[in-house]
Amino acid sequence: MNEFIEQFLLEARELSAQASSDLLALERTPGDAGLLNNVFRAFHTLKGAAGIVDFAAMARALHAVEDVLARARAASQPLPGEDIDKCLASLDQVDAWLDAMEAIGDLPPHADARADDIVRLFAPGEHVAAEPRNASGDWAPDFLERHPAHARRARVALRYRPPADCFYRHEDPVDWLAGAPGLLAMELAPAAPWPPLARMDPFACNVVATALLAASPQQVQDFVAGRDSDVELHVIAGPPAGWPARAFDVLEVQRTILQQTAGPGAAGRLGAVGRVAASVLRGAGEAALAQAVEDAAAASIASLDPAPLSQAIDQAVQRAGAQPSSDEAPPAARANAPEEPVSRTLRVDVARIDALVALAGEIAVAKNALGHAALLARDPHRASALPAMLKEQHASLDRLVRDLQDAVVSIRVLPLRHVFQRFPRLVRDMAASLGKSVRLVVEGEATEADKTIVEALFEPLLHVLRNALDHGVEPPAERAARNKPAQATLRLRASRVGESVVVEAADDGRGLDGARIRAAAAARGLGSPETLAAMPDREAMDLIFAPGFSTAASVTDVSGRGVGMDSVRTAVERLGGVVTLESVPGEGTTVRFTLPYSVIMTRLMLVEAHGQTFGVPFDSIIETVRARRADIAPLGGERAIVLRGKTVPIIDLAGLLGQAGAPAGDEDANLVVATMNGQSVAFEVERFGGRMDLMLKPAEGLLACVKGVAGATLMGDGRVLIVLDMEGLLA
């Protein structure tokens, strides 16, 4: 990703978050001029940033927002609630664009249409003219004819006759048109014949400007909004929208190359042109045209005559050009949506970098001391001092390495604010859609946790808050009847407890109803009525995390259907955390995530199988078992063993890496039993090894494709340690 886009993403995300929180604050205190000013400045700076990275669509959209804010600011009027909603909606679009940019490392596709939506949102009245007026469009064909080079890309021809007094209104028609979307060419002509210079009024505008634009009619309409009465538009039948913008250009270039294909190497050039043209056509979703071009290329190569290929490319261009154009149809080639964005940039406090630099210095000193010890070892008279010295140096290196690990971990930590700050807005919107009045109180947002954890908390927290709003918080009438304040309170709290980070979401709603949960669990076959009745309340409440459980009496817009709290538990466990729940009927529910502060250090148990060392994450191991061969039974194509009444499948570790499993001997089998989500699996190993704390690197290269492998690391003796990913293995 280029450094400008990287920096843009950093700044734009901060500005968007800032604008969002200021808008919400403004909603609570509508007359606050300082807040309005902050919001304006955030949008203004965001627009400027978009301009720097040439993201014209975003700048255009934000300009529309800025106009509304500037008007409110100038009039010293509070910003109406509906405008706050619109501003927030535009920030949603900005965030979506930023996500897309993070994923693809470049400006997002189709941004213009989205920008159009935002502009329309803020100026709905100016877009009533649905169809561009062709009026007396007879000027357009002549104009197009004078610009054959642009004929293929031009979508709209525009004619602008500015009012004679426009200069007095600080208008500059040429400068304005120069900013038109997709400007290809412009011409100026006198509106009335030029008078002799001596009688010319330099302040009266006497020009008619015509322009050819490569933008969509909608974009052009938005651009000319406000000057409609002086502008005539003529829509030119354009290429199908499904074609990537550059496809025509590329095909044009291929045709030019074909004109120079005589002489040595002609066959190679013909082949290259054919391949490029065919792949461009394929990329545009035109498989049949691509095939025709390939066939023609073969014919051209055989006869060393470019004519067949040239004709095929011409036909492809014309055929495609004849198809009806539609702005909404997404290009077939873009069907593969960008992957979920993975944030790759870290913003690090300078003090933390300084700490690392200092540590690097200390480690260099320790290295020198070790060099001194090596010299001692060569001197037989002084070698006796060596053991003590080595011991001391080991101790100091040990400390340094630990400090280094801490320092590295601290670089990876982020305050929970990073995820918390998105909720005020979401809670507001969700509460509004449910007709409930809710206040969100956020505490401890400065608490830090590993970046991986902070970034993965959004989904599960959103889910818990949704549930609280939907099922926990009573409708206003019910709250009134229970003598509760009409406005419910949701608390989002974070705190550091030792090596853990505790994140809680608490509501003051109706609390969980043990009887209802038992009934629902029984109805879903999660246990017999007797077992459920005997279950303590605490355990019964835990059932809401069971897969497929939902007690929603009605399916609402907010919680939706089918996604239960089980997804929350899965997500938190994936992060190495646990979810617990407390609920007091009538008083509310608290859902608590207890998460590790750092995910980097992984404690492993080492095992050996078929000459390979594997690391099994300690936190997933239940026990190690020595089992008799006779107790291992075939199960499907696999093997399994019954442990404490449960059938546990046995996984052959070597098979995981595509190695053949060694034939089983007669001796007892060593099994490591591990669990994940209540599902158990046993690994047969030759030897149990020691334990190890490891800073785990994600798997790279070939290993990255192997299911069940979390990563690999080099051990002191040069052997490769493969760390197992229990989730992947059990998926």
Partner 1 sequence: MTNETTFKLLVVDDSKLARMAVGKLLSANPGWARAEAANADEAVAAAQREPVHAAVLDFNMPGRDGLQLAAELRGMYPSMPLAIVSANHQVEIVNRALELGALFLSKPMTAEALRQFLDTAEARLGTAQA
Partner 2 sequence: MTLAIHPDRLELLGVCGLDDAEPLLRALIERPGAALELADCAFLHTAVIQVILAGRPRLNSLPRNILLQSLLPQGDNA
Interaction of residue 570 with partner 2, rule CB under 8 A: no
Q: Which residues pair with 680 in a beta bridge?
A: 675
Positions in 202-221 near partner 2 (CB under 8 A): 202-203, 205-207
Query: CA of 161: how far to CAs of 1, 173, 174, in Å?
Result: 44, 9, 11
Interaction of residue 166 with partner 1, rule CB under 8 A: no
Query: CA of 102: how far to CAs of 5, 10, 96, 167, 344, in Å?
Result: 9, 10, 10, 43, 8
Q: Which residue has the tokens 């066939």?
A: 295
**Could you give the CA distance from residue 452 to residue 499 in angstroms, rounded to a whole number?**
16
N residues, the chain? 731
Contact stretch for partner 1 (CB under 8 A) within 43-51, 270-278, 293-301, 404-412: 43-51
DSSP code per residue over 457-494: SHHHHHHHHHHIIIIISPPHHHHHHTT--SSEEEEEEE
Contact stretch for partner 2 (CB under 8 A) within 56-64, 110-118, 197-205, 318-326: 197-205
**Could you give the CA distance from residue 473 to residue 508 in angstroms, rounded to a whole number?**
7
The phi and psi torsions of 581 (rounded to 5 degrees) equal -140, 140
Query: Shortest Cβ distance from residue 20 to partner 1 (Å)?
Result: 18
Nearest residue to 179 (alpha-carbon basis) of 163, 158, 194: 158
Query: Shortest Cβ distance from residue 527 to partner 1 (Å)?
Result: 58
Query: Shortest Cβ distance from residue 101 to partner 1 (Å)?
Result: 13
172 three-class SS: coil
Residue 511 DSSP code: -
Q: How many chain residues bind partner 2 (CB under 8 A)?
A: 23
Contact stretch for partner 1 (CB under 8 A) within 46-54, 188-196, 607-615, 703-711: 46-54
Query: CA of 264: how far to CAs of 224, 267, 309, 397, in Å?
Result: 53, 8, 18, 67
Interaction of residue 167 with partner 1, rule CB under 8 A: no
Among 31, 33, 52, 288, binds partner 1 (CB under 8 A): 52
The tokens describing 542, both together, are 């835990």
Interaction of residue 48 with partner 1, rule CB under 8 A: yes
Binding partner of residue 311 among partner 1, partner 2, none, CB under 5 to 8 Å per kind? none
593 three-class SS: strand
Q: Which is nearer to partner 1, 49 or 712 (CB)?
A: 49
Query: CA of 285: how far to CAs of 111, 244, 291, 326, 719, in Å?
Result: 21, 10, 12, 15, 49
Q: Which is nearer to partner 2, 175 or 499 (CB)?
A: 175
Query: Shortest Cβ distance from residue 59 to partner 1 (Å)?
Result: 9
Nearest residue to 79 (alpha-carbon basis) of 126, 17, 33, 19: 33
Binding partner of residue 197 among partner 2, partner 1, none, CB under 5 to 8 Å per kind? partner 2
Contact stretch for partner 2 (CB under 8 A) within 195-203, 299-307, 441-449, 552-560: 195-203
Interaction of residue 187 with partner 2, rule CB under 8 A: yes
Nearest residue to 695 (alpha-carbon basis) of 614, 599, 612: 599
Q: Which is nearer to partner 1, 39 or 241 (CB)?
A: 39
Interaction of residue 39 with partner 1, rule CB under 8 A: no
| Burial per residue of 126-139, b for 16 or more beta-carbon CB atoms within 10 angstroms, e otherwise | eeeeeebeeeebeb
Interaction of residue 73 with partner 1, rule CB under 8 A: no
Contact stretch for partner 2 (CB under 8 A) within 137-145, 182-190, 386-394, 486-494: 182-190
**Distance of alpha carbon 135 from its chain centroid, rounded?**
46
**Could you give the CA distance from residue 166 to residue 168 in angstroms, rounded to a whole number?**
5
Among 144, 185, 600, 640, binds partner 2 (CB under 8 A): 185
Interaction of residue 149 with partner 2, rule CB under 8 A: no
Interaction of residue 197 with partner 2, rule CB under 8 A: yes
Interaction of residue 426 with partner 2, rule CB under 8 A: no
Among 24, 25, 32, 41, binds partner 1 (CB under 8 A): 41
**Could you give the CA distance from residue 373 to residue 318 in angstroms, rounded to a whole number?**
80
Among 45, 279, 437, 580, binds partner 1 (CB under 8 A): 45
Among 1, 7, 89, 476, binds partner 1 (CB under 8 A): 7
Q: Which is nearer to partner 2, 186 or 369 (CB)?
A: 186
Interaction of residue 192 with partner 2, rule CB under 8 A: no
| Burial per residue of 619-654, b for 16 or more beta-carbon CB atoms within 10 angstroms, e otherwise | ebbeebbebeeeebeeeeeebbbebeeeebebbbbb
Interaction of residue 53 with partner 1, rule CB under 8 A: yes
Q: Which is nearer to partner 1, 48 or 661 (CB)?
A: 48
Binding partner of residue 8 among partner 1, partner 2, none, CB under 5 to 8 Å per kind? partner 1
Q: Which is nearer to partner 1, 41 or 334 (CB)?
A: 41
Q: Which is nearer to partner 2, 167 or 549 (CB)?
A: 167
Interaction of residue 72 with partner 1, rule CB under 8 A: no
Binding partner of residue 695 among partner 2, partner 1, none, CB under 5 to 8 Å per kind? none
Sign of the dihedral defined by the CA atoms of residues 413, 414, 416, 419, in that order: negative
Query: Shortest Cβ distance from residue 66 to partner 2 (Å)?
Result: 24
Query: Shortest Cβ distance from residue 232 to partner 2 (Å)?
Result: 18
**Residues contacting residue 541 through CB under 8 Å, at least 6 positions apart:** 512, 514, 517, 581, 583
Binding partner of residue 185 among partner 1, partner 2, none, CB under 5 to 8 Å per kind? partner 2
Among 190, 265, 371, 548, binds partner 2 (CB under 8 A): 190
The tokens describing 681, both together, are 């699996």
Provide the greatest CA pair distance for the chain.
114
Binding partner of residue 73 among partner 1, partner 2, none, CB under 5 to 8 Å per kind? none
Count, in order, helices (H) and strands (E) of the chain: 25, 22
Contacts to partner 2 by CB under 8 A: 162, 167, 172-175, 178, 183, 185-188, 190, 194-195, 197-198, 200, 202-203, 205-207
Site residues, partner 1 (CB under 8 A): 3-4, 7-8, 11, 41, 44-45, 47-49, 51-53
